[in-house]
């Protein structure tokens, strides 16, 4: 499921003009997707470091500890620890610098259903853009001139399924 979700997110980024690298490993750690595009208006490289967590069942929490059992401060520390591990490892900063000339990179977290959303609020406070997977799917479902890509078939299959489910619910 995770690989399919990453492929769909990668397709979404491609349609927005990004070149993507998926599954960059630095030791035992991995960047799900690094997306890069040149912005001719600013003469700068734009970079997105994307982490994707989508599951068939809703996630109770995405950090290592049970979010519901933590106090506000402990939960925030748990999210900060996850953030540092996922987005700010020195190896990732160096990699982004090598690719774009800067360590700065927009951070994006694409997620499926999450039962306990407080973690998402803390991530947003840390400057991470949080985007539900269903929003990515709906944006991919909009009419586009971009029709070929590695995950185009997956996107079309999902879109057909969603349309048929919506039609069945309307009956």
The CATH label, of 3.40.50.10860, 3.30.2310.20, 3.40.1350.10, 3.30.300.130, for the domain at 2-170 is 3.40.1350.10
**Whole-number percent of the chain with pLDDT over 70:** 78
Residue 132 has pLDDT above 90, yes or no: yes
* DSSP code string of 27-44: TTEEEEEEEEEEETTTTE
Section 37-63 average pLDDT? 84
Q: State how far the Cα of 26 lies from the Cα of 90, in Å rounded to an integer.
A: 10
pLDDT, tens digit, 9 for 90 and up, residues 4-32: 899 999 999 998 999 999 988 888 888 99
Closest to 4 (Cα-Cα) out of 147, 146, 113, 155: 155
- Residues contacting 161, CB < 8 A, separation 6+: none
- Residues contacting 137, CB < 8 A, separation 6+: 8, 155, 158, 159, 162
Where in the chain are the domains?
2-170
How many residues are there in the chain? 171
């Amino acid at each position: 499921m995770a690989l399919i979700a990453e492929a769909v997110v990668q397709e979404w980024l491609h349609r927005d003009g990004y070149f993507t690298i998926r599954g960059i490993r630095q030791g035992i750690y991995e960047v799900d997707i690094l997306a890069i595009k040149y912005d001719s208006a600013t003469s700068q490289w734009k970079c997105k470091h994307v982490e994707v967590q989508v599951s068939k069942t809703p996630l109770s929490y995405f950090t290592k500890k049970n979010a519901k059992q933590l106090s506000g401060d402990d939960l925030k520390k748990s999210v900060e620890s996850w953030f540092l591990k996922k987005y700010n490892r020195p190896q990732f900063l160096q990699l982004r610098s090598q690719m774009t000339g800067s360590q700065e990179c927009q951070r994006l977290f694409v997620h499926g259903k999450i039962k306990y959303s407080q973690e998402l609020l803390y991530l947003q406070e840390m400057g991470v853009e949080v985007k539900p997977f269903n929003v990515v799917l709906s944006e991919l479902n909009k009419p586009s001139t971009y029709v070929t890509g590695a995950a185009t078939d997956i996107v079309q299959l999902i879109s057909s399924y969603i349309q048929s489910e919506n039609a069945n619910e309307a009956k």
